[in-house]
Amino acid sequence: MPSFSTLGEFELLVLMAVLRLGERAYGSAVRDELEARTSRRISRGAVYVTLDRLDGKRLLTSRLADRPPEQGGHPLRLYRVSPAGRKAVAAAVSDVAQMRSGIESLLPLKGAR
């Protein structure tokens, strides 16, 4: 099973976005969630390449679903974090919390330059 050391920062953010979105986790929604929560501009290509890579690592699963009739168009590919992906996220969050502990006073406050 992949460990946190094999997850890049962006992979971790994508997994967390998919977890937050639940049943609504498809490529564009993942991108929107990332942009809203990180205040970064995210390319569609970066999201889709990362979703594919995480699927290949078995940290995500995906399935095709029909769009609502009023939306029309191609089916949506919906993503879900696999049990291995949940373990990888839990380990990563734990590792970051352990590393963060005690350094808060050394970091700039959010919004400070």
Q: What is the pLDDT of residues 19-64, one digit of tens each?
A: 999 999 999 999 999 999 998 999 999 999 999 999 999 999 999 9
Residue 63 corresponds to which amino acid? R
Q: Give Cα 11 distance to the centre of its chain.
A: 6
Domain at 4-95: CATH architecture: Orthogonal Bundle (1.10)
What is the band of 3 on the pLDDT scale with cuts at 50, 70, 90? very low
Tokens 């995500």, residue located: 60
- DSSP letter assigned to residue 104: G
- Residue 87 reports pLDDT greater than 60: yes
Can you give the pTM of this predicted structure? 0.84
Q: Is residue 111's pLDDT more than 80?
A: no
Of 36 and 74, the structure prediction assigns the larger pLDDT to 36
